[in-house]
Amino acid sequence: MSNLETERLSLRKPTMTEQYDLWNILRQEKVWQYYMSIPDRFNNDRKAFQESLDDWSKQEKFFKRKIDNAEEDSDKYTWSIFLKNGKVIGQMTVQPNDNYPDNPRIRTVGWFIDPKLQRQGYAYEAARAVLDYMFSQTNLEEIRTEANVVNPGSWGLMEKLGFVRIGESISSHYDIDGNPLKQYNYMINRDMYLTKNKCKIK
């Protein structure tokens, strides 16, 4: 994978240097509630999960393992998102889609941005750079992904990027009362993306 540059952002291969700051963003409930599923061992106990997530002495091992595994896992692309002044503000990933384990050319995407910097176009700018790269520089053919219905910021961004809504399903995320959330299902393929965004395959 390559580091990517946009007008306002630098998207870089992750290192441990910025992981503490990313953890501080990710452990905010308004971020993790849409980006992460509560592991089964917490039995959907949001408070217990939050307490575990808030413990850097435990989470540091997870982040370090993620960095180490990235060196060996060529199937997963991860970028740390930085402002040009060097401040890290989020993360974006493109990884295998569990629903299509036998087709590595179908993947899913995910991202999170510091809530203090949302609604400023950074997520779109980062996603556009990553999708430009993935569809023009790799053998990716299609992305299938989901967004919770109650998270219009995410699915609105997908539609702005050219994703097409293809249905609804039950999410692996839950609301504060423990009820499973509904999610919209989206897809976009190489031809759709390159045509809409006028990209050229290099």
Residue 186's identity, in one-letter code, is Y
The string of pLDDT tens digits covering residues 11-43 is: 999 999 999 999 999 999 999 988 888 888 888
Predicted confidence band of residue 202 (pLDDT cuts 50, 70, 90): very low
Extents of the domains making up the chain? 4-197
Domain 4-197 sits in CATH at: 3.40.630.30
Question: CA neighbours within 13 Å on the CB side: how many for 25?
Answer: 21
Share of the chain above pLDDT 90, in %: 69
User: How many Å apart are CA 59 and CA 76, to the nearest integer?
Assistant: 20
Is residue 46 within 8 A of residue 27, CB to CB? The reply is no
For β-strands 77-83 and 9-12, DSSP reports them as antiparallel
CA nearest neighbour of 90 among 74, 102, 79, 106: 79
The reported pTM is 0.91
Predicted confidence (pLDDT) at residue 99 exceeds the cutoff of 90? no
Predicted local distance difference test score (pLDDT) of residue 86: 96
Q: How many C-beta neighbours within 10 Å does residue 7 have?
A: 8
